[in-house]
Amino acid sequence: MTNGKAEARTTLYPGYDVLDKRTTPSWDDATRAVIAERLATPHEPRFFLAVEWLAVTSLCACVVPQANAHPVVPLAALLDARMFSNQGDGYRDARMPPMRDAWRIGLAALDADSCEKYELPFASIDHEEQIALLEQMQRGELKGSAWGDMPSKLFFSERVLHDVCGLYYSHLHAWSEIGFGGPANPLGYVPSISTGVTRGKPQKPNPANTTRPSRRIAVLDDAQTQPRGKDGRAPDVFREGAWIPMREYPDHEEVDFAIVSTSAGGGTLACRLSEQGFKVVAFDAGAWWYPLEEFASDEAHQQKLFWTDERICDGENPLKLGHNNSGKAVGGSTVHFAMVSLRFRRMVQFAQPARIRRRLAARLARNVVLLRTG
C-alpha cells in the first residue's frame, strides 16, 4: 500500500495539529486522559487471530486509504480494541450475528472468496483485486457458503463502513486533517450575561480562574462495576469528589413508592414525593457518575452514557433504537443529554409582522400548556 516514504498527511489546513490544544483550557483533565488512552491503543491484536489480523489490516487500508500519510491512523488497532472491549451499538439487525461474531464470519468469508477466485487469501492479492472483491461485497454478490445466513451487503454497510469510518474520524490525526477543533471543554464557552446565549466567537476563560480537578479520574472508573449509592450516601454531582446523604431502607421494610427510572420524569417524581414525607425507592440501570470529573468532551468516549446493551431490530426497514436513543446511568435521560435542559423563554421582541407575531405567540402558549398538562 505504500512505497516506504512517509509524507505529510494531505489536508486543507497545513501545519494545524489539534494536539496543540492539549494543555489549553479547551481540554479538561478527563478529556486529556481519554485522548492519551486513544493515542496509546496497542498496535498488536488482542481480539483478532493472526490470519484475521492480516485480512482486517488490508481491508482497513482499502476502505480508508492512507497511502504514505504520516502520522497514520491505526485503524486495524482501533477496531481490534473495540472488539476486545465488546463495545456494542445498542441495536442489531436481526439478519446479522452479534458484532464480534459478524467480524469473524465476514473476514473468514472474505478470505474464502478470495481463495476461490484468486487462489490466495485477501491480504495476499493485489490491491485492485481487493477493491474488486469489496465492491462485490458492497453489492451483495459474495454469497459463498462461509457467509452462512449473513448477507455480505449488510456486513459491508453495518460493520465495515460503520466501524472503520467511525473509528477513523474518532482519531486525532483525522481531526487535524479536516480542521476539527477537537473536544471543547464546556467551561471554555462563556455565555453572555445579558442575554443568556453565546454570541459571536466563544470566549475562553482565564486559566487562572479555571477550577482544576483535585485528583485524576481514571478513564474507566469503578462506577461501571461497583454501586456508588450505598452506605447512606450518594455522589454529589455538583461538587468534585463530594457526597450527599442518601436514605436507605432494609429489604424487609415497606415503602410507599417504588419508581423505575431516575430520569427527568422518575427522578423529579421521587424528589417531590420524598419532600412530602413519603418513603420512596428509585431504580435505574448504569453508573452513578461524577459529571464534573468523569465526563470527557469526546463523543466516542461518552458512549459510556448510552444504552449499548444489544436490542434486536427486524423488518424490511428496521428501526435502529440504539445508543443515541436512550441513556444508561443514574439520572437516565438527563445524563444522556449531558444535563442540558431546554426551556421556553419569554420572547421580548419580534421582528416579524403583527400577524406572524400573534401566530407564534399562540403556538408558544399551546406548547407551554402541553408541557404542564402532558
- Angle between helix 50-63 and helix 75-85 axes, rounded to 10 deg: 120
Total domains in the chain come to 2
The one-character DSSP state at 74 is -
**Does residue 184 fall inside a structural domain?**
no
Among the candidates 178, 207, 239, a domain finishes at 178
pLDDT along the chain (374 residues), means of 10: 58 86 82 90 96 97 85 95 90 92 98 97 97 97 96 96 94 90 61 36 39 40 81 89 90 94 89 93 90 82 81 77 73 71 52 58 56 43
Structural contact between residues 80 and 46, judged by C-beta atoms closer than 8 angstroms:
yes
147 domain-assigned: yes
Cα separation values, 129 from 51, 62, 132, 135, Å: 19, 11, 5, 10
| Bridge partner residues of 283 (DSSP) | 260
Residue 318 contacts residue 94 (beta carbons within 8 Å): yes
Q: What is the pLDDT of residues 96-110, one digit of tens each?
A: 999 999 999 999 999
pLDDT score, position 210: 36
Q: Is 257 helix (H, G, I), strand (E, B) or coil?
A: strand
Residue 263 is assigned to a structural domain of this protein: no
288 in any annotated domain:
no
Domain boundary residue among 178, 194, 225? 178
Q: Which domain holds residue 55?
A: 7-178
Q: Given 178, 207, 234, which residue is the final one in a domain?
A: 178
pLDDT of residue 259: 95
pLDDT digits (tens, 9 = 90+) for 216-251: 444 445 788 888 888 899 999 888 889 999 988 998
Q: What's residue 193's pLDDT?
A: 35
Span 255-297, pLDDT tens digits = 999 999 888 889 999 999 999 999 999 998 888 988 888 888 7
Specify if 171 maps to a domain: yes
- State the pLDDT at residue 302: 81
Domain-embedded: residue 141: yes
Residue 256 forms part of a structural domain: no
